[in-house]
Structure formats: C-alpha cells, structure tokens
Amino acid sequence: MREYLKFYIGGRWEDPASAATFDVVNPATEEVAGRVALGSAADVDRAVAAARAAFPSWSASTREERLDLLRAVLDAYQKRAGDLAAAVTEEMGAPSSLANGFQVQLGAGHLATAIEVLERFAFEERRGATLVVKEPVGVCGLITPWNWPMNQMAVKVFPALATGCTMVLKPSEKSPFTGQVFAEILDAAGVPAGVFNLVQGDGPAVGVPLASHPGVDMVSFTGSTRAGVEVARNAAPGVKRVVQELGGKSPNIILDDADFAANVAKGVAAMMGNSGQTCSAPSRMLVPEARMDEAIAAARDAAAEARVGDPHDDVVLGPVVSEGQFDRVQALIRAGVDEGAELVAGGPDRPDGLPKGYYVRPTVFARVTNDMTIAREEIFGPVVTILGYADLDQAVDIANDTDYGLAGFVAGRDLDQARAVARRLRAGSIAINDGFDFAAPFGGYKKSGNGREWGEFGFHDYLEVKGVLGYAPDDAS
C-alpha cells in the first residue's frame, strides 16, 4: 500500500502542518490502495511563501536556463513513465494499455511541445516606438482533476515553468499518486527550490485557501463547472487571473456522406475510452434522421466490442473513479430510460460477472431529444446519446443548444462541407475527421470555461503584457 505523507515545498519533502490523512480507494477493487497526507491552509501558506521567494530569480532566468530544465524534466519523465502509468491504473482505474499509452504519453507530448514553443517564443516585440514585453504573471495556483491526471498537470506546470512562473500544485484527492511521482520527477530534474511546490488535499482544505490566497497571482483550474464557479468566487476578492477548463457536452456530427457505420463505431469507441471520463468526449452523436436505424445497428455492434473489466487485463473500459461517480452515472442512465430514450446497449447496474468495482456497462441511447437529461447534463461515464437531424441547419442548431462549448466533432468525406459545419459550431476545439494537434488551442466557450491550453496558446495565460512607450523615440517618426 502506498503512503505519501510529505509535501514538496521549497525544494524539500516537508511534513504537513497536521497529521490528517485520507485514504485513496482503488476503484477496481473498492479497497484502500494508499494513504496520503491531507493538507491545510497552513501548508498552502508555506508553499506560497516558497513560491514567492523563488519568483524573483526564476522570473529572471534565461530562455536557455528554462530549456535546460524542461529537457532534464523530459529525460526524468521518460525514465519514470512506467511508474506514472502504474499510479494512474491504481488510483483511477485506467486500463494498463491506456495508462501506458495516452494517459502518460500525453504528458510527454505536451512537454516536448512546450520545449519547441519556448525555443522560438517572442517575449519581446517592437511596435514602432513601443516595446511590448511579455512577463511571467507571478505565483500560480494550479488545481488539477483526476480523470487525465498527467495530461492536466502537464498543460499547467510546463507552460508555467517555461514562462518563468513559480507555482503550487494541488492534484485531485482522487488521483494523488501521480502528483507525488510527478514531484519526484521534477525534483530529480533539478527544479530550483520553491519554483514548483506540491500540496495534497481536497477542495475545502487546500483548493479554497489556494484560490483565495493573497500571495497567488493566478489560478488555473480544471474540473466541473460547479467547482469552477466556486474557484472564481474565492479568487475574486484578490482580482487575480482565473483560467478554467470545465465541463463539456460535445456534439459529434456525422454527415450523410461519411463512411457511416465506421464513423458511428469510432464515435462509440471514443466515448468508451477512459470509461467516458473525458470532458471533451463526443457524448452527443448527431446522425441524419433517415439513417437512425443504420446508426443504431452500428452503435450496438461497437458497444458490444467494448470489453469492460479488470484494468490489468486486455480491456477497453476499467471502472469509473469512485463510488460517487458510479452512483451519478447510474442515476443518469436510469433518467434516460425513464424519459423514453431508446436503450440500444448497456443500461443500469454493473456488467455481468463484475460484482465488485465501480464498473459501468457500455451504454448507448438512441432517438434522444436535446431536452432530455442525458442530452443536457455531462454524464462523465461510458454513455453515448444518439440524436437525429433533418438537415445541416438543424444539426448545427442542436449541436449549439447546450450550456457547454468545450469541443465538437465533424465526420464527412466532403471536406469543404465539414469545414463549413465546423466553423458554425460554438466550441473551443473542433476536430474534423479525428484531427489531433498538440499545438492547437484547447479550451471552452460558455460554461466550459475561459482561457486556452496546449502549445503556444498555453503560454499566454501565464504572461502579463507590458507596454514600454517611448522605448525607441528615434524610430517614432
């Protein structure tokens, strides 16, 4: 059983202010997998003080010094990739293939991308007589979720390091193991004392003091929209910058000219990945109404291929992260049945042969209308809802009829038509025919948040913009 009872503060592993701990439950076994120290406002105070003390020197570091550190982190990260994957599987139930694949390798990809961006990023720009300078925002409070722990730590920590910021990281209490291993990686890479600090704990005990701390200049939060609202409220008295990547209910529009059965199957498979616990997952599949029966047949076959079970086996789906998440997903599946959606595959209760563990049956609903609960609320489980549309105007209207705007998907052979549909979708990231790019901006419209992560766009929220007027008066004319 793992025991992580110290926090990484000021370049050292420090005892917490109190002896409080919390148990981390393995969702595949429902048994305690480890014990982690529970932080408090006093621990946040120490971590912020360490970050503030380190800021003057790190903010003045050169591009090459930051590149040297990031390259050392990449080397250390690759050496510990197996340890990270094991932690992900144990703490949140990701199948081993997913943990060793996307769960960990996304972090490495974002780190490599941050290095590439930093090599050429323009921190200063002359505009006539004015010099525009981009300077590190200061001490950053970083609050990350449990569902893609390494991805979300990577898209916050690496841009913060690259831009000269110092930081305090609070991982989710549901996935604290990866945060501890990650801190060990940064320590091994030689991160200067105080530049990176780690405090474990829950939202009330650590998240609130971090978001409201007067010594924190910026908060970057990924999680639910409800929690994001609270983070913003806590940060507001300090008028600090708040960047949020929140919930989603993303449309997946399959055009009439698409390789139809294959694209339906891809959409189902994408929704089953990570047990549906992905904020940008294509949860609302939109298909031509005239081809609904065809879509149902293809979706049923695809769901049957999504094997669920022990994450150490050759499976597509492990469990969802916790008992609370399991109960929420089950309640929403039952709401779909009660509201009259057609149950195509899966449904309530655990899969056969899995009486223990927070496993959910791969579920598909069809003939869903956009006013149903399962079409409005983010389920965060392996549940696909299929909605019909009469024409492309209606498809776009349905797609945009949501409180969220994190992502969207379009599949079709006619690229011009797919591009035209993508332009009309009100979301921060639109993938045409499974497009993927580490350098593309990622973030949401509406209640899906504000700010952007990934690539060069991930640097901007960690920078203040200063205008030095009259910098070159001889050139003013």
The helix/strand/coil state of 469 is: coil
Q: How far is CA 71 from each of CA 104, 110, 456, rounded to the nearest angstrom?
A: 17, 12, 17
Among candidate residues 173, 279, 453, 456, the one labeled active-site is 279
Among candidate residues 91, 173, 245, 453, the one labeled active-site is 245
Strand pairing category for 449-450 and 241-245: antiparallel
Structure tokens at 465: 């913009």
Q: How far is CA 295 from each of CA 254, 306, 329, 388, 411, rounded to the nearest angstrom?
A: 10, 17, 23, 10, 14
Strand pairing category for 429-432 and 449-450: unpaired
Instruction: Answer yes or no: 230 catalytic.
Output: no
Residue identified by tokens 């990934």 is: 454
Provide the 10 A C-beta neighbour count for residue 1. Answer: 10
For Cα atoms 424, 425, 428, give the angle at the middle one, nearest 5 degrees: 125
CB contact at 8 A, 140 and 166: yes
Element (H, E) at 252: strand 251-254
433: Cβ contacts below 8 Å, ≥ 6 apart: 410, 411, 412, 415, 418
Of 269, 275, 331, nearest in space to 103 by CA: 275
Instruction: Answer yes or no: 140 catalytic.
Output: no
Cα–Cα dist 176/91, whole Å: 8
340: Cβ contacts below 8 Å, ≥ 6 apart: 372
Tell me, letter by letter, the H, E, C secondary structure of 63-103.
Answer: HHHHHHHHHHHHHHHHHCHHHHHHHHHHHHCCCHHHHHHHH
Q: What is the dihedral of CA 238, 243, 246, 248, to 10 degrees?
A: 140
Provide the 10 A C-beta neighbour count for residue 351. Answer: 16
The catalytic residue positions are 245, 279
